[in-house]
Amino acid sequence: MTDTLTPVLTDDWDAERSWTLATYEGRGGYDALRKALAMAPDDIIAAVKDSGLRGRGGAGFPTGMKWGFIPQDAATEAGAKPKYLVVNADESEPGTCKDTPLLMATPHTLVEGVIISSFAIRAHTAFIYIRGEVLHVIRRVQAAVAEAYAAGHLGTDIHGSGYDLDVVVHAGAGAYICGEETALLEGLEGRRGQPRLRPPFPAVAGLYASPTVINNVESIASVPSIIGNGAAWFASMGTEKSKGFGIFSLSGHVTRPGQYEAPLGITLRELIDLAGGMRAGHELKFWTPGGSSTPLLTHEHLDVPLDFEGVAGVGSMLGTRALQLFDETTCVVRAVLRWTEFYKHESCGKCTPCREGTWWLVQTLARLENGEGQESDLEMLLDQCENILGRSFCALADGATSPISSSIAFFRDEYLAHLSHGGCPFDPAASTLFETAGASA
Ligand SMILES: Cc1cc2nc3c(=O)[nH]c(=O)nc-3n(C[C@H](O)[C@H](O)[C@H](O)COP(=O)(O)O)c2cc1C
Ligand code: SF4
C-alpha cells in the first residue's frame, strides 16, 4: 500500500465553482460517460468487478458483484421488469461526513456515475435519495441534474447512443433508519421508513417490486474514475482485499478536521499526522473507525490498517471511515450516552429488542453517568446489549450496542470511577472545542 493522499473524488473540490457543469467538463468530466456508452453494459460490470470496488456505505459489499445479481434475462419474470438504480445519500451516521461535502463540491461526479451505472444495469430510471434536512445539498444536486439534462447527458438518446435515462432527486423526510436500504425503498414508495424482511433481496424485488441496485454516493461517484482510468489503475491502490481509495472524515480533537482521501489501508497515525496532530497538548484516548455504530478503538490501534480486514481484525468495522477522535479530556460514558440517546431516538420501533432495549440502555447509562448506579449495572448493560445484538430486525440496533460493549471492555475503570466519585469525574468544558466563556449549557 501507499501512505500518501490520493485525491480523486476530492481533486476538484477547490476548483473555482467546482459544482458547475462547466468546471467539471473543463477538467475532463463526462469523458468517462462517452467511453462507457461505447462499451457493452456487461463489460462495464466486469470492469467494476475487476477494480475490486467495495461498497462505501458501510458494509463493503463488492459493487460489481451486486450489479451482476440484477436479472437480465427478459424471458424470466424478474428479468422482464424495469430495473432501477437508487443512490443512498441519506448520510446520517454520527461522525459520517463524506457524501454531503462531495455532493456540495462536485455533484456531477455522482451524476456521471449514476448514468454509467444505470447504463450498465440497464436501468432507465434512477433515484438519488437525499437526507431531507440538507436542503442546500438537495438544491445543488437538483441544479446539477438540470444542467446534465440541458447538456444532453440525461434524457432520451443520450449522445446518440439510443440509451434513455431519467434521474429523480428525492428528498427524504429525515430519519437515520431511511439510510438502511430497504427502509429507504419503503420511503421512496411513499410509506413509513421501516426495514423490509429479506429475502427477497432488492436485486430481485426492490423498488416497486422490481430489480434494484442500491449504492452509496461514494461508491457510484467512484465509477467514472474506474471507467476513465481502468480497473487496474483503481486496483493498484489500497490493499489486497480492499482496493482503491476512500474519503476518511476526521472530526473531534484533531488540529485540522476534515475529509482526507487516501488509499484504503492507511493508518490513523498517518491520518492524524496529515491533519496536524491531535489538539495541542492533548493525546488520543479513543476513536471510532467508521461512525458511532462501530466498536470503539484506542491509542493501541493507531497502526491498524484502515481497510475492511484490518479493522475487523481488531474487533471493529471500517464502516463509513468516520474517524471521530477524542482526547483524554473526554468522558467515555458521557460520549456513549449521547450516541445511545441518538439510537433510541432513531429506532423506528418495528421490533421490540431495539424499540424497548435502546430505551433501557439510555436509562442505565444515564444512571451510571450521574454516579447513581451500582457496579452490577455494568453487567446489566452488557446483558441488555446481548439481548439486542443479533436479535433485532436490522443493523441499527446492533450498532447501538457497539459503543457500549466496546467502551466497557476498554474503560471499565472509568465507569466505576463515576460510582466512587458520585458523578462524572470529568469537566465537560475541558473537552469542548468552541469558546465556552459566555455559553450556557
Ligand atoms: C441504520 C442504517 C443506516 C444506514 N445509513 C446509510 C446511509 O446513510 N448511506 C449509505 O450509503 N448506507 C447506509 N446504510 C447501509 C445501506 O443499508 C446499504 O448497505 C448501502 O447503501 C449499500 O451501498 P454500498 O454497497 O454502495 O455501500 C445504513 C444501514 C443501516 C443499517
Ligand atoms: S432494529 Fe430498530 S431500527 Fe431496525 S427494525 Fe428494529 S426497531 Fe426498527
- Which has more pLDDT, 280 or 2? 280
Q: Does pLDDT of 386 surpass 70?
A: yes
How far, in Å, from the CA of 210 to the mean position of ligand 1?
19
Quote the pLDDT of residue 436: 66
Q: By the 8 A CB rule, do 194 and 183 touch? A: yes
Q: By the 8 A CB rule, do 239 and 279 touch? A: no
Residue 435 has φ and ψ, to the nearest 5°, of -65, 120
> pLDDT tens across 319-369, in order?
999 999 999 999 999 999 999 999 999 999 999 999 999 999 999 999 999
> pLDDT tens across 193-237, in order?
999 999 999 999 999 999 999 999 999 999 999 999 999 999 999
Atom from ligand 1 closest to the CA of residue 220: 26
CA gap 57, 216 in Å, rounded: 5
Q: Does pLDDT of 3 surpass 90?
A: no
Cα 266 to chain centroid, rounded: 18
Element (H, E) at 108: helix 107-121
Quote the pLDDT of residue 420: 96
Quote the pLDDT of residue 4: 76
Three-class DSSP category at 25: helix
> pLDDT tens across 60-107, in order?
999 999 999 999 999 999 999 999 999 999 999 999 999 999 999 999
The number of helix segments (H) and strand segments (E) in the chain equals 19, 9
CA gap 106, 104 in Å, rounded: 6
Mean pLDDT of the chain: 96
User: For residue 163, what is its C-alpha cell?
Assistant: 440509451
Question: Is 395 close to ligand 1, i.e. is its CB under 6 Å away?
Answer: yes
CA gap 433, 246 in Å, rounded: 27
Quote the pLDDT of residue 5: 85
| Closest residue by CA, ligand 2 atom 8 | 348
**Confidence band, pLDDT 50/70/90 cuts, at residue 1:** very low
Quote the pLDDT of residue 174: 86
Q: Which residue has the cell 466512587?
A: 420
> pLDDT tens across 117-166, in order?
999 999 999 999 999 999 999 999 999 999 999 999 999 999 999 999 99
Mutating to test ligand 2, I would choose from 93, 178, 194 the residue with most ligand atoms within 8 A of its C-beta, which is 194
Three-class DSSP category at 166: strand
Kindly calculate the radius of gyration of the chain based on its CA atoms and give it in whole angstroms: 22
When pLDDT is averaged across residues 265-276 and rounded to a whole number, the result is 97
Q: For residue 197, with 0-12 CB atoms within 10 Å meaning exposed, 13-18 middle and 19 or more buried, which class applies?
A: exposed
Which domains, from first to last, does the chain contain?
21-230 (3.40.50.11540), 245-327 (3.10.20.600), 332-429 (1.20.1440.230)
CA gap 273, 426 in Å, rounded: 27
User: For residue 365, what is its C-alpha cell?
Assistant: 447509562
How far, in Å, from the CA of 217 to the mean position of ligand 1?
10
Q: Does pLDDT of 379 surpass 60?
A: yes
How far, in Å, from the CA of 409 to the mean position of ligand 1?
27
When pLDDT is averaged across residues 279-286 and rounded to a whole number, the result is 96
Quote the pLDDT of residue 370: 96
User: For residue 125, what is its C-alpha cell?
Assistant: 430510471
CA gap 373, 365 in Å, rounded: 9
Three-class DSSP category at 262: strand
Q: Does pLDDT of 314 surpass 80?
A: yes
Q: Which residue has the cell 413509513?
A: 192
CA gap 45, 54 in Å, rounded: 13
How far, in Å, from the CA of 339 to the mean position of ligand 2?
16
Among the listed residues 358, 403, 405, the one whose alpha carbon sits nearest the alpha carbon of residue 378: 405
CA gap 436, 441 in Å, rounded: 9
Quote the pLDDT of residue 47: 98
